[in-house]
Amino acid sequence: MDENLRREIILDHYTNPLNKKIPENKENYEKINTNNSSCIDNLDIYIEIKDNLIKDICFTGEACAISTSSCSIMIHNLIGKTIKEAKEYILNFKNMIDELPYNEDILNEALAYNNIYKQNNRKHCAFLPYEGILKILAKYE
């Protein structure tokens, strides 16, 4: 990916993150905190699941540009997916971060993190929001 485009995507989502708010009908959502002991990123993620479908995701908290933008892009990509699709998507994203074979076609803007492995200390920033979501999805078959 072109470096300028990469930066633009990340900065865009950092400056104007999607759904960075507490959802209006909080009671319909499951909430999970995700943070990392080795850095100070700390996000609360709210997810609404109905009939095996991810209907909505919101988040709040304080986090760096990488975590925040990654969360925003994740939300964009996960809303509307079934639990199974979401898990596949996340595994695919994780493979990219871990330098394993992955499918580029389904990641769209999340490809902005395809060279994050070069900065070891930021890998966990990019994956942090996914960790939270995975904890919730684990409860669903």
Partner 1 sequence: MNREDFPMLNKDIIYLDNGATTLKPQVVIDKIVDYYTNYSANAHRGDYDISFKVDQEYEQAREKVRQFINAQKREEIIFTSGSTESLNMIANGFFKNYLEPTDEILITTSEHASNVLPWFHLQNTIGVQVKYIPLDNNHYVTLDNVIKSITPNTKVIALAGITNVIGDERPIKEICHLAHQHNIFVVMDASQYVPHRKTDVVDLDVDFLAFSGHKMCGPTGIGVLYGKKELLEELEPLNLGGGMNESFDSPNEVYFKELPARLEAGTPNIAGAIGLGAAIDYLTKIGMTKIQEYEINLRKYALEKLIKIPYLDILNIESDSGIIAFNVEGIFSQDVAYYLNKYNICVRAGNHCAKNLKSEVGVKNSIRLSLYFYNTESEIDDLVELLSNKEKMRIEMI
Residue with tokens 């975590």: 67
Alpha-helix runs per DSSP H in 16-119:
65-78, 83-97
User: Binders of partner 1: how many residues, by CB under 8 A?
Assistant: 17
Asked if 121 is part of the footprint of partner 1 (rule: CB under 8 A), the reply reads yes
Single residue of 47, 49, 54, 66 touching partner 1 by CB under 8 A: 66
| 129, 86 Cβ separation under 8 angstroms | no
Asked if 43 is part of the footprint of partner 1 (rule: CB under 8 A), the reply reads no
Taking the least distance from each CB to partner 1, the nearer of 47 and 72 is: 72
Asked if 10 is part of the footprint of partner 1 (rule: CB under 8 A), the reply reads yes
Contact residues for 127 (Cβ-Cβ < 8 A; gap 6+): 70, 93, 94, 97
Cβ at position 54, least distance to partner 1 in Å: 27
For residue 75, give both structure tokens: 């939300």
Asked if 7 is part of the footprint of partner 1 (rule: CB under 8 A), the reply reads yes
| 1, 114 Cβ separation under 8 angstroms | yes
> 53: alpha, beta or left, given left = phi > 0 and alpha = psi -120 to 50?
beta
Single residue of 62, 98, 99, 104 touching partner 1 by CB under 8 A: 62
Asked if 64 is part of the footprint of partner 1 (rule: CB under 8 A), the reply reads yes
Asked if 41 is part of the footprint of partner 1 (rule: CB under 8 A), the reply reads yes
Residue 74: HSE in the Cβ half-sphere, 13 Å Cα cutoff: 33
**Contacts with partner 1, residue ranges (CB under 8 A):** 7, 10-11, 14, 39-41, 62-66, 68-69, 119, 121-122
